């Protein structure tokens, strides 16, 4: 969101300004400050200097809203002189004081469940733990992986033409679309530890030959119509993937 982007922009701005005396004030007057530090992908940002962009920011957890970072923080305006202090206090809040109680509670819960075995987690690096619990950041699969680890039902087999087209499409997908495909079929944009073999994704025919592919994410099951060509399959699959954002996050009425 904009607030989080602003906090990150301030951190980068202060880091650049620390490289030389007077550098921070010089950067703050740059009319393209917002475009240098706030530019999110694919979204144009108007060119304004720091003082204009930060005119409504205060010493709150993200500069715009949330917990005050100091006494009277909700009333204290952010400017170029106070930017380093703001970044320091915000970093402390997000990485230490603001999450300390939650981390202590998590640690106690971990020991309640694992007992003395919890100490074995220290054998892993943060990156290794992230991969174990959340999967790999990048989605890797090969032609061999797709041929060996996809499952089939309802009359589909590894030699069914639509299945072959699907494997071809999955193989040429770029990383962002691979993640969206996984989110579509499993409600998670990452492969589990062990990769495609452990995902146990199964492909089944759908009787609606003209419809979009659909999924049963809780069962890791994709229902793929018997399209007449690879081009039609690619078009419909991409439409289904890109139109499905948040499909597993809907709030049903009580």
Cβ neighbours of residue 127 closer than 8 Å, sequence gap 6 or more: none
Label the pairing between strands 214-216 and 202-206.
unpaired
Residues 153 and 123 reside in one and the same domain? no
Is 158 among the domain residues? yes
pLDDT band at 210 (very low <50, low <70, confident <90, very high): confident
The pLDDT assigned to 243 comes to 85
Average pLDDT, the chain: 88
- Is 10 in the active site? no
Is 247 among the domain residues? no
Residues 114 and 190 reside in one and the same domain? no
Is 252 among the domain residues? no
CA distances from 39 to 32, 127, 227 (A): 10, 28, 41
The pLDDT assigned to 132 comes to 78
Residues 90 and 169 reside in one and the same domain? no
Picking from 86, 116, 134, the residue at the C-terminal end of a domain is 134
The torsion angles phi and psi of 223, rounded to 5 degrees, stand at: -100, 115
Q: pLDDT for 95-128, tens place per residue? A: 999 999 999 999 899 889 988 888 888 888 888 8
Contact 61, 94 (CB under 8 A): yes
Residues 211 and 157 reside in one and the same domain? yes
The pLDDT assigned to 39 comes to 67
Domain span at residue 203 reads 143-242
Which is more confident, 209 or 123?
123
Is 176 among the domain residues? yes
Q: What is the mean pLDDT of residues 166-194?
A: 92
Place of tokens 């010493």: 59
CATH code, domain carrying 234: 3.30.2410.10
Query: What is the Cα–Cα distance from 62 to 64, expressed in whole angstroms?
Result: 5
Residues 127 and 216 reside in one and the same domain? no
Q: What is the mean pLDDT of residues 56-77?
A: 93
Residues 90 and 121 reside in one and the same domain? no
Is 248 among the domain residues? no
The pLDDT assigned to 6 comes to 87
Q: Which of 10, 70, 188, 218 is catalytic?
A: 218
Q: Does the pLDDT of residue 13 top 90, yes or no?
A: yes
Is 253 among the domain residues? no
Place of tokens 């069962």: 219
The pLDDT assigned to 115 comes to 87
Residues 154 and 109 reside in one and the same domain? no
Q: Which of 227, 207, 226, 224 lies closest to 216 in space, CA to CA?
A: 224
The pLDDT assigned to 251 comes to 47
The pLDDT assigned to 250 comes to 45
Q: Does the pLDDT of residue 253 top 50, yes or no?
A: no
Residues 41 and 90 reside in one and the same domain? yes
Give the chain's domain count: 3
Residues 157 and 119 reside in one and the same domain? no
* Dihedral angle, C-alpha 142, 148, 153, 155, nearest 10 °: 90
Is 183 among the domain residues? yes
């Amino acid at each position: 969101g904009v607030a989080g982007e602003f906090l990150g922009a301030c951190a980068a701005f202060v880091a650049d300004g620390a490289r030389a005396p007077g550098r921070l004030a010089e950067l703050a007057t740059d009319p393209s400050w917002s475009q240098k530090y706030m530019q999110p992908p694919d979204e144009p940002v108007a060119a304004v200097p720091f003082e204009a962009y930060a005119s409504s920011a205060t010493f709150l957890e993200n500069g715009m809203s949330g917990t005050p970072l100091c006494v009277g923080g909700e009333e204290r305006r952010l400017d170029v002189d106070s930017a380093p202090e703001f970044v320091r206090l915000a970093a402390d809040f997000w990485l230490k004081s603001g999450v300390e109680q939650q981390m202590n509670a998590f640690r106690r819960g971990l020991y309640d469940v694992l007992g003395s075995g919890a100490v074995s987690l220290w054998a892993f690096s943060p990156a290794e733990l992230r991969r174990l619990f959340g999967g790999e950041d990048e989605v890797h699969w090969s032609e061999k992986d797709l041929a060996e680890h996809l499952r089939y039902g309802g009359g589909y087999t590894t030699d069914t033409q639509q299945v072959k087209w699907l494997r071809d499409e999955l193989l040429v997908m770029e990383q962002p679309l691979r993640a969206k495909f996984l989110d579509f079929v499993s409600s998670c944009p990452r492969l589990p530890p062990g990769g495609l073999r452990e995902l146990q994704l199964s492909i089944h025919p759908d009787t609606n030959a003209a419809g979009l592919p659909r999924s049963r994410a809780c069962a890791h099951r994709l229902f793929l119509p018997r399209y007449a060509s690879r081009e039609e399959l690619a078009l419909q699959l991409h439409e289904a993937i890109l139109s499905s954002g948040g499909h597993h996050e809907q709030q049903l009425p009580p």
